[in-house]
Each structure stands twice: as structure tokens, then as C-alpha cells.
Chains A and B, each alone.
Chain A
Amino acid sequence: MNDKPLPETLLPLEVDGVSFRHRGQTLLDDVSLRLGHSGKTVIMGPNGAGKSLLMRLCHGLLSPSAGSIRWADGKAASDPDVRGRQAMVFQRPVLLRRSALSNIRYPLALRGMRRQQRTQRALDALRHFGLAELADRPARVLSGGEQQRLALARAWALQPRILFLDEPTSALDPAATKAVEDAVRAFHAKGTRIVMNTHDLGQARRLADDVLFLCRGRVLEHTPAGRFFDTPSTPEAAAFIRGELVW
């Protein structure tokens, strides 16, 4: 891993005819989509639509029951080169029982970075997210907002080409939510491809370049954000935007 920008060999991501079945239930059905080189994609949809599942499939945490997920040059999700250039921030970050600093150093060590470089990179990331003072604090005693920022800093240190965020603010107060949104913009400004799930319509409006609307395991819309919010093409999306109950 080095600090130079990586050559563009990861994106686009092609999801083709992907289904996911679990215990006889079809949770994702024939999903196809393409994620281009840049931008912030927000995945929306009612609970149980399969948003988190789709994200996990893209990130390679799960394998599809049918269909294919291909990165640039046809690379599979399991390709180590592909895995090493992604990061994901979860709804509830899992932090290790060690200091904030060590939490960031850990994945860098997994990538074989030298000890001294690890610490430097981790400190930079902490500083970037205003966590430098907490470097030696055990990660598990930080507040919820601080923990999520630490998770973002950990992703930051990995310098991913693409960042997945799975409802990163659903458990946070407004101040902490703003910090996360700022972080997303910072990642974007640095050229990181963003894919994010959210329930929060306001947040989607603030952040999305394009919206992927999922309902009952199917992709109903994938359009630029402006068009999605102004002229949704499916009744489900329209109802969802009006704040009605959709399932």
C-alpha cells in the first residue's frame, strides 16, 4: 500500500442479475446495476427491501445465489486486490478492545504496512476526524458519535477507492450526524466512490448524486438524485418520498 493515488482499475462495478436466497426466501431478485467511477450513490427503500444485503454483496461479505458481481477487468469480489481497496462503515461500528489509535493501526497491519508507517497513517486519520486527543483512549468507552467517527477514520486510513456506508447515522444525534455527513463529503472530495444506505430522506437529498430505489428485493429505480426526488417514475418511490408507508 502506498500513498500515491491508485490507478483506476477497480471501478466500474457491474452487478448482473444477482439474486440472493436464504432459507427458501428470495431476498434479492434479479438485481442489475452499474456503479461508475465517481459520485455518491444513495440506496433507499423501505425496511426489508434488501438495501443492506445488496451492499454486503457488493462489498463481498456475502456471495450471491445467482448472477455475478464484477469489478473492473472482470475481477471477482473475492479477488484480494479488490477486497483491499474497499472499506465499509456499519450502522454500529465494531471497535476492538484496544485504544482508538490501535483500532486504526489494526487493518493497516493486516495489509502488511510497516509499524512506523502504520502509526503515522493512523495518527493522520485521527487528526483528520478531530480525534487526535482520544488516540490513547480505549475505543469501547468513546461515545456513539465518537465511535462512528473512529470507524470513519479507520476507513479513511485505508484510503479506499470505494466506501460503503450502511445507515451510518441511524443511531446518532444531529451533531454526530453532521460530522458523518461532512466526512462523507471529505471522502468524496478525495475521489472516493461513495455508496450509502439511509432511511433519512433529508440526508439523501443532502448527499445523493444518484439514488438507487429498492423495494421487496428488486431495483425499482436508479436515477440521478434530482430526477428521483422531483419526478419519481414508480408509484412506490413516489409514495416513499411523500413519507407514506411502503413495503
Chain B
Amino acid sequence: MVDGNPFAKALELILGLDQVLVGIVTLSLQVSLTAVLTAALLGLPIGAAVALYRFPGRALVVTVLNALMGLPPVVAGLAVYLLLSRAGPLGSWGLLFTPTAMVIAQTMLVFPIIAALSRQVVEDLWEEYREQLQSLGASRLRAIPTLLWDARFSLLTGVLAGFGRASAEVGAVLIVGGNIDGVTRVMTTAIALETSKGNLPLALGLGIVLLFLVAMVNATAFLIGEGAKRRLG
């Protein structure tokens, strides 16, 4: 290759605003952010509920949630693939090889991270707040949003970790998305593809772009969180 420097390649990709690259980047962000949003909408209240309520099998639920944080993306991908495949139980939805399938797979990966952290953080906070909230007349159910809101800075960290996992994984989206050009090709699958073509500088250049994007999202969230934390104590 004439241009063998991955950093030059990354710069060229970013500055050139290549149409295809913009499409891939946008889809990556859309898929991962949607997955994180969905996982947060489910995981935060469910984690908080597990923290506040005592029920049979609770210890098992907590253990499973913690264990699922280490779920290999390929396994999540395979599970979603079998679920959404035409031969699978949800085959009639026709979602395999669509961005929606990728969102579902990534949600599965991110949900345990957010739910487990939410469980931990809310449980600690509940310890501190329980008497006061009960005294003020908040039921356990009503305490859930209150505790989540008060724990928002700690939870933001978990949500960002979830975003990191979603945007970095390739195993799940490759299986359920199929890496279809212009339809389900995202940053990580594009990197895998370029690597297998032996196009290492381009692959690494794309990797740098991905890193940059994730860093941007994290920095934005961090700055907003820090600012608010300073203001709200």
C-alpha cells in the first residue's frame, strides 16, 4: 500500500467525510445508542426493583445478572439469531439481518451491566434513604424513580460502560446483522471485514475513528455529569 499509515488514514477518513463512512458511523451510533437506551429503560427500574423488594429466588436473580455481565457477544448473537431466524420462534417478524436485530442483540449485552449496577447502587442508596423516604410517605414502588434519580451520576457511569460494550462488540452484530453493505454494516463489522481483506491500515484507521467517537460520547456524558455533580453536591 502506498498510504500505509493508519493515523493518516484515520485523519483522511475523518476529514474526507466519506459518504460510506458517514453512513456506517451513523448506523453504529444509532444501533448502540438505541440498545443502550432500551437497556437503560429496562435495566434501571428492574435493577432498582431487585434492590428494593425481597422475593424468593432473589439471590439467584442477582447472581445471574452479575454473571450475564460477562456474556460473550457471540453467544448473545447466536441466541438472538436462533430467536429471529425464520426457523425460530420469532421468525415471522422477519427481523434477522436488520438493524433492529442488532439493537436487540446489543440490548441483551448491555442490559445485565446496567441492571446489575442499578441493583448495587440503588441498594446502597436505599440503605441510606429508606427511613427518610418511608417517613415522608414514599412506598417502595414510588421510591424507585426517586432513588434512580438521586443515583443518576453513579448510574451514568454504568450506562457509559454499557455503551462501551455495545459499540465495541463485533460478535453479536456480525451474526444477527450479517454485515450487509449499506444496511447492517457498522464500525466494528467494517473493521473486521477490512482486516480479513488484509487492509490493515484502513482497518486500524476505522478503529481510530471508532475510538474517537466513543471517547466523544464518553466525554460529553462525563462533562455533563461532572457539571451537574458540582452543582448538586
Q: Do chains A and B touch in the complex (CB under 8 A)?
A: yes
Contacts A61-B135, A106-B146, A110-B138 supplied; 6 other A-B pairs, CB < 8 Å: A56-B131, A60-B134, A83-B137, A96-B150, A97-B150, A139-B233
CB distance from A239 to the nearest CB of B (A): 31
Q: B residues within 8 A CB of A145? A: none
Residue B20 is within 8 A (CB to CB) of chain A in the complex: no
CB distance from A98 to the nearest CB of B (A): 7
> Complex: how many Å from CA A171 to CA B146?
26
Interface residue stretch chosen among A26-34, A43-51, A67-75, A85-93: A85-93
Residue A140 is within 8 A (CB to CB) of chain B in the complex: yes
List residues of chain A with CB under 8 Å of any chain B CB. 56, 59-61, 83-84, 86-88, 90, 93-94, 96-98, 106-107, 110-111, 138-141, 154, 158
CB distance from B227 to the nearest CB of A (A): 12
Q: A residues within 8 A CB of B137? A: 83-84, 107, 110-111
Q: A residues within 8 A CB of B53? A: none
- CB within 8 Å for A138 and B232 given contacts A94-B129, A106-B146: yes
Q: B residues within 8 A CB of A110? A: 136-138, 142
- CB within 8 Å for A61 and B232 given contacts A97-B149, A97-B150, A110-B142: no
CB distance from B88 to the nearest CB of A (A): 45
Q: A residues within 8 A CB of B135? A: 59, 61, 86-88, 90
> Complex: how many Å from CA A241 to CA B45?
51
B138, closest chain A residue (CB): A110
CB distance from A192 to the nearest CB of B (A): 15
Which of A60, A94, A138, A158 contacts B231 (CB under 8 A)? A138
CB distance from B153 to the nearest CB of A (A): 8
Q: A residues within 8 A CB of B134? A: 60-61
> Complex: how many Å from CA A98 to CA B137?
18
B232 touches A93 (CB 8 A): no
CB distance from A156 to the nearest CB of B (A): 13
B131 touches A61 (CB 8 A): yes
B146 touches A96 (CB 8 A): yes
- CB within 8 Å for A93 and B136 given contacts A140-B232, A141-B233: no
Residue B132 is within 8 A (CB to CB) of chain A in the complex: yes
Give 5 closest A-B pairs by Cβ, nearest first.
A140-B233, A94-B132, A141-B233, A107-B136, A138-B232
> Complex: how many Å from CA A225 to CA B152?
47
CB distance from B156 to the nearest CB of A (A): 13
Residue B3 is within 8 A (CB to CB) of chain A in the complex: no
B131 touches A97 (CB 8 A): no
Residue B181 is within 8 A (CB to CB) of chain A in the complex: no
9 contacts across the A-B interface (CB closer than 8 A): A94-B129, A94-B133, A97-B149, A98-B232, A107-B136, A110-B137, A111-B137, A138-B233, A154-B136
> Complex: how many Å from CA A169 to CA B168?
52
Interface string of B97-135 (1 = CB under 8 A from A): 000000000000000000000000000000011011111
